[in-house]
Every structure is written in C-alpha cells, then in structure tokens.
A and B are shown apart, each in its own frame.
Chain A
Amino acid sequence: MNSIEHFGKVISTDILIVGHGISGLSAAITAKEKNPALKVLAVDKACVGFGGKANKGGGHISYIPEGAEETYVEYHTRNLGDYLNNQDRLRRYAHSTVKTLDKWESWGVSFRARDDAFQAHPIIPWKMFVVDLDMLIPMAKHARQAGVEFMEKVAIVDLLTDGDQVCGAIGFDLVTAEILVFKAKAVVLANGNQNWRVMRMWSSSRGEGIATAWRAGARMRGAEFGSFVNMISVEHFQVSYGSENAMFNAKGEFMDDRADLDGNLKDTFGGADLGGTQSISMYKQVAAGNGPIFEDTEKNDYPSTPQGMNIVPEVGRAADNWFRPFAHKWWHLLWEKNKMGGYKTSSKMKEVAPGFIGEFGPVNVDDNWMTNIKGLFASGDICAGGIQIFGAVPAPPGRNRGSGLIAAVYHGIHAGPAAADYVTGLEKPGQIDPVQLQALQEDMLVPLYRSQGVTAAELTWKIQCIMTPVPNSALKREDRLKAALAETLALKAELPKLVASDGHSLSACIETKAMVLCAEMFFRASLERKETRGWHIREDFPSRDDSANPYWVDLENVGGEMAVSRTEVPLNHYVYQPG
C-alpha cells in the first residue's frame, strides 16, 4: 500500500480548525492561549479576515447583564427554547456573556456604544449594542501574533479516523485543485451551518461541515429546527429590516401578526423580535388571495433606531457613539445601489416576501464541544442547534437578534481550549489508514473525471426549490413533508452524476451533496416530531404535546442509512417545567 504522501501534499498539525470565520478564529486564539506549544492551523475556503457571515450582517450584539441571568433562563426556556434547551448549559451561557464580551474586545474589535447598550426587548433582559463589521481583521491579526497559522482557499471535505478517534482530514486547494492531506490530533469544525445558498449574505454556509461530520459518524440533534425565515424585499432580495412590524396585504389591511394562527401557537410563542409565524401569516394571506404583501416603509421604525441607522441609509448617519465607519460605508453602498437600481418605483409601499434562510446547525456535541467521535470538536453555527443550549429555535439562537456573533465567540472560547486539553492529554494519536484515505480521495475527486452529467448549479437550484417554499419548511404537514423528502431523495439519486472541471466547481459539487444531505435530515427529523414546538410548526399537529416528557430527535449514520431516534429531555433534572 502507498504511503500517505502518495495521495497529496501532507500537512501536520496538532489542532486543525476548519473555517476561520468568527468562531474558528475564537477557537484558534484560545486553543493557542491554552497551550502555546501546540501547533494550531486554521484553514478556510475564504481568505483570512473575510470568511463567513460575521462581517456580512447587522453587527448587533446582545448580552445578558449581570443579575438578570435567571430571568433570562426562565423566559427563554418557557417561550423560545420551549423546554428543549439544556437548561444547565443555557444557565452557564447566561452567566458568561459579559465575560465573553470582555475576551472578544481584548482581541482589538471595535465595539460601539457598549456603555450605552439599550434594553432590546420588553420582557427578556437582553441589552444590545453594535460592533463594526471589519471585526475579523483585528481578530486575525491577534491570532497571528499569538502564533496561529493559516491556510486560505482550502476546502476540507472528509475526516480521517482511526477507530473512534479523528486523526486528520482530506481536502484540496480551490485554485489549483491540489490534494491536501492533514495529519491532526484534534479537529475543530467551525465551518458554519447550512443555508442552502438561497439568501445572498448567508451564502457562505453550505453545510459541508455537517456533511463531513456525518460521513465520519457524528450524531445530529434538533435537525427539524433549520427553518429560519426572514422578510426580504422582492425587488432587491436583501432583508427588509423591521418590515415585520409594518406589513400590509394587497387590500391595505394591516397584518396584525399571528392573529390568523391557531390559539395554541400564541402561547407557544413569546414576544421575541422575529417569530417563525410571520412568514406563515404572509403565506396564508397570499393563499387566501390577499397577496402580495407590502411593507409600508414610512411605518417601519427600524431605520431610525441607533442600530438601524448603521444599516439603512435613508435616515442619515448614526450618532457618534454608535457610528461604525466600515459598516456605514459598506451597507450604504449596497442600499444606494438597491434604491437606484432595485426599486422599480418611488412608492413608499414595497413588496416583501418570506426569505428562506434555514440556519440549520445540528452537529451534536457534549459539554466540552466534542462530538461522539474522539478528538472531533465543533464550534459556532455548525453546532448551535445540536448543542441544545437554546432549544426549539434555529441556529444561531433563533429569534433574538444579536445572539449569533456572541454565541459563535462563546462556542470558540470553549471549543478551542477543550481541543487543546484533549491534545495535551492524548496518549496515543491515531494513525492515518491509507486504504481509508484512498477511498475518500477517489470519492472526492470523481466529479472531475466525468465528462458529462449534471452541474452543481442545476442540482442546487432544484434543492433550493424544495427548501424555500413556506409550506415545505416553515408550515409543515405530513403529506408535504413526505413529498419534499421524496423529491430530495430523487435528487440524491442524481448526485453520482455531478461533474466538475476545476477546484471551484469541485467545491460546488461537494457543497451540493451537503445541501441534499441536510435537506434529507431536515425532512426526516421534521416528520418524527409530531407536535408544534418552537420554530417547528406543524399544521397537522398545531399544539405542543405535553402528555409525555419532551424529546430530542436524533439522527445517526448507520451504514449509510439515516436512523431516526428520540432521546428524552431530562426535564425532571431541570429547574423549569411546563405549566
């Protein structure tokens, strides 16, 4: 049998961090801090300082002020987590947000108005302020100074294992298609969640990390909650921030949200800022012939809030203590273009529609962010659902704006040191098996050797058409879920026809495979949960089932088949119970 060098360029490291978005950077810095003697290598398809979602969004940061932790835990459990959250983990998180901010700020990021943070919610004691969107640049600089090494334009595809232990990974260079073999004692998957490439700014998360973990045998949990839907402008496709509070149907009637939903749902959903039900209201209005839906831009208060002024240009420049130079420049360029080229008329009424995002991150990890595979850790959006800190919400923690960034940093500053401790205490590192390596290499490269077949773009469009409709992903019903699963499995049968011509299109093939796999997980888990809970909304089971203890839906890779099972939530052990 060939030596591993035969299969590609071999790179050795103690810890391999996959993805240097905000969570990967946080994990890399803190792993190095924990044990400076270890080699920490972070690799990403994007270049350092630009990857992932943190710098494409609102930059809102929410945290729980000292003293308010238990109020938050109770509110979240009762209204958002819907008793699926691990209450011990949520409490630990609640007591850590201020410390997380201090650590994050020490890496040179530019927080704005931290001392002026405002009460962001009428009930939950969340405080909110903002960060400038070039935040990954100082973080990467800090990581380099700490000794973290980086590789750019690298796609990681599969993990190498020795028994139940991880020992490396295989991937390739996007530009040259050169094969890369990584020898590693621990791997931290920080490569984001799955958003099926529907929404523009979310398009870096294509679920490959989830698929990578799955193929290696990692367990998934909470896969039915990847159903985040936002409001978007039909004319320019971007999120229309705040429009959820200013929506009118085509008859000019104000859409008093949730009014048309089953009464049980109203109790299930507390008053957090964006619920799973707005998109359903829109869908129902349209189905009843009252569409399309419009936002009355004059009734939308968001643009004139301190945080909105940083994003939506019409109202001018934010006050000095809120002003973020980079966010201002970047968002304003986009909104100016959209105003000039996107909007067809100058009417204050702008058509809006549900914009499917997903936020599907079901990789299941333990209290140390380790999966069921030894030495394989996950951090950030990829496991924000599977860790079950937040319960019945899509990742990042569903409805509370401003919780994605801080949660991703929180994950990183725990997963990184946990990986460092694991490597430090590791007695016998695993050995790469050339037979396994060869099989994975062949599977990875096969689209390059086909001369004809289907392109990744063709299949991606088809999977987007399955995931995007509200009646498939947001308002679920058994017959529709089964039909969507059947369509997904038909696409799965087409995957062996994928063709690629270079590193870029090979990466697209691997992403498309991950999109189909994640859709299968989503529909299978959704079929298993025969009740409405949190963001999992069933038209055929409109209430929460309190007749027995709640359960988590788990997915396991059993010989290539997706086995679905339930694990009872240890509710008796927790402080808060229904009622």
Chain B
Amino acid sequence: MNLIKIDSTLCTKCGMCFKSCWNDVFRVDKATRQPYAAYPEDCVECNYCEVSCPVGALTVIIDYAKPMASCYGNK
C-alpha cells in the first residue's frame, strides 16, 4: 500500500490535498482541520496531492510491490 506522509510542522491545513485527490483518499479531522489519508489503499500514486500542496508538506511514497492482476492468464 502507498504511504501518504504529511509533515504537520509544514502543513497549513489549506485542504488542497483533500480537494485534488480524485480517489477520495483524504478526510479532514473535524476538530483540528488536519487532512489525513483515510483510505490509502485507494491511492493510485498519481501524485496530484503532492504537486498541489503549496508548501511541500506532503509526500506520496509508492509501494512498487502491490499486486496487479495477471495479464496473460493461466489458460
């Protein structure tokens, strides 16, 4: 699974990561307004959140060992 890391010392809680993720990976904590990756299993490593973060607080660490359905099949 990919890891989505937010450096809370840099994060301004602007919400751009939540806005830019088209796979609905993020939620925003109601009390602290802090976005976090609630569904990292649905991340497709497009990096849109990372390029959209205005202060460089977010990093997507790609898991290159994720399973992929077989393209040749077994028949």
Per the bound structure, the CA–CA distance linking A324 and B38 in Å amounts to 32
Using A330-B48, A356-B71 as known contacts, say yes or no to A342 and B38 having CB atoms under 8 A apart: no
**CB-defined A-B contacts under 8 Å, sample of 21:** A46-B22, A50-B48, A198-B68, A236-B62, A237-B64, A291-B72, A330-B51, A334-B46, A337-B45, A338-B62, A341-B64, A342-B64, A353-B71, A465-B70, A467-B69, A468-B69, A468-B71, A469-B74, A471-B72, A471-B73, A504-B38
A560 to chain B, nearest CB (A): 29
Given contacts A283-B72, A465-B70, A471-B73, could you give 8 more A-B pairs where the C-beta distance is less than 8 Å? Answer: A45-B22, A47-B19, A201-B46, A203-B44, A356-B71, A471-B75, A480-B75, A504-B38
Contact A286-B64, Cβ < 8 Å, known A50-B22, A174-B24, A201-B44:
no
Interchain CB contact under 8 A, A50 and B19? yes
In the complex, chain A residues whose CB is within 8 Å of the CB of B71? 279, 283, 353-356, 468-470
Is A507 an interface residue when CB atoms closer than 8 A count as contact?
A: yes
Using an 8 Å CB-CB cutoff, how does the interface string of A217-244 with B read, 1 for contact, 0 for none? 0000000000000000001110000000
Give bound CA distance, A59 to B46, whole Å.
15
Q: Which residue of A lies closest to B27 (CB)?
A: A175
Q: Give CA–CA (A201, B23) in the complex, Å.
A: 10
A55 cross-chain contacts in B, Cβ below 8 A: 48
- Nearest chain A residue, comparing its CB with the CB of B38: A504
Count of CB-CB pairs between chains A and B under 8 Å: 102
Instruction: Determine how close the nearest CB of chain B comes to the CB of A198; give it in whole angstroms.
Output: 6
When chains A and B are docked, how far (Å) is the Cα of A471 from the Cα of B73? 7
Q: Which residues of B contact A (CB under 8 A)?
A: 18-24, 27, 38-39, 41-42, 44-48, 50-51, 62, 64, 66-75
Which residue of B19, B22, B62, B74 contacts A204 across the interface (Cβ within 8 Å)?
B22
**Contact between A469 and B70 (Cβ–Cβ < 8 Å)?**
yes
In the complex, which residue of chain B has the Cβ closest to the Cβ of A291?
Answer: B72
Q: Is the CB–CB distance between B20 and A47 below 8 Å?
A: yes
* B21 contact set on A, CB distance < 8 A: 50
Give chain B residues whose Cβ lies under 8 Å from the Cβ of A45: 22, 24
* A-chain residues with CB within 8 Å of residue B74 when the two chains form the complex: 469
Please tell me if A287 contacts chain B, counting CB pairs below 8 Å.
yes
Main secondary structure of the interface of B (DSSP, over half): loop
Chain A residues 16-52 with CB under 8 Å of chain B are 45-47, 50-52
User: Which of B39, B45, B69 has the most CB atoms of chain A within a 10 A radius of its CB?
Assistant: B69
Write out the residue numbers on chain A whose beta carbons fall within 8 Å of the beta carbon of B73: 468-472
Tell me which residues across on chain A come within 8 A of B39, comparing CB atoms.
504
Chain B residue, CB-CB nearest to A464: B69
- At the interface, yes or no: A486 with Cβ under 8 Å from chain B? no
Question: How far is it, in angstroms, between the C-alpha of A56 and the C-alpha of B64 when the chains are bound?
Answer: 20
Please report A residues at the B interface, Cβ cutoff 8 Å: 45-47, 50-52, 55-56, 153, 174-175, 198, 200-201, 203-204, 235-237, 279, 283, 286-287, 291, 329-330, 333-334, 337-338, 341-342, 353-356, 457, 461, 464-465, 467-472, 480, 483, 504, 507-508
> When chains A and B are docked, how far (Å) is the Cα of A167 from the Cα of B27?
33
| C-alpha gap A427/B56 in the complex (Å) | 55
Closest to A329 in B: B51
Q: How far is the CB of A446 from chain B (nearest CB, A)?
A: 21
Instruction: Say yes or no: B19 contacts A461, CB within 8 Å.
Output: no
CB distance from A282 to the nearest CB of B (A): 8
Given A237-B68, A470-B73, do A507 and B44 touch, yes or no (CB 8 Å)? no
Most buried by B among A235, A356, A504: A504
Whether the pair A333, B47 counts as a contact (CB closer than 8 A) is yes
* A153, chain B: closest CB distance, angstroms: 7
Q: Which residues of A contact B67 (CB under 8 A)?
A: 461
Contact B20–A286 (Cβ < 8 Å): no
- Chain B's closest residue to A55 (CB) is B48
Closest to B73 in A: A469
For B45, list chain A residues within 8 Å (CB).
Answer: 200, 334, 337
4 closest residue pairs by CB, A with B: A469-B73, A468-B69, A200-B44, A464-B69
Indicate if the CB atoms of B46 and A56 lie closer than 8 Å.
yes
Q: CA A257 – CA B70 in complex, angstroms? A: 22
Whether the Cβ atoms of A334 and B47 lie closer than 8 Å is yes
Q: Complex formed: what's the CA distance from A320 to B16 in Å?
A: 29
What residues of B have a CB within 8 angstroms of the CB of A198 in the complex?
A: 68-69
CA distance in complex: A200, B46 (Å): 8
A504 near B62 with CB under 8 A, answer: no
A469 touches B75 (CB 8 A): yes
Set of chain B residues within 8 Å of A470, measured between Cβ atoms: 71-73
A175 and B51 CA atoms in complex are apart in Å by 23
**A504 to B48 CA separation, bound complex (whole angstroms):** 19
Looking at A235, A333, A472, the one whose CB has the most chain B CB atoms below 10 A away is A333
**Chain B positions within 8 Å of A200 at CB level:** 44-46
Within 8 Å by CB of B62, from A46, A279, A342, A465, lies A342
Contact of A469 among B19, B48, B66, B72 (CB under 8 A): B72
Residues of A within 8 A of B72 (CB): 283, 286-287, 291, 353-354, 469-471
Q: Which of B20, B44, B50, B71 has the most CB of A within 10 A?
A: B71
Name the residue of chain A whose CB is nearest to the CB of B59.
A337
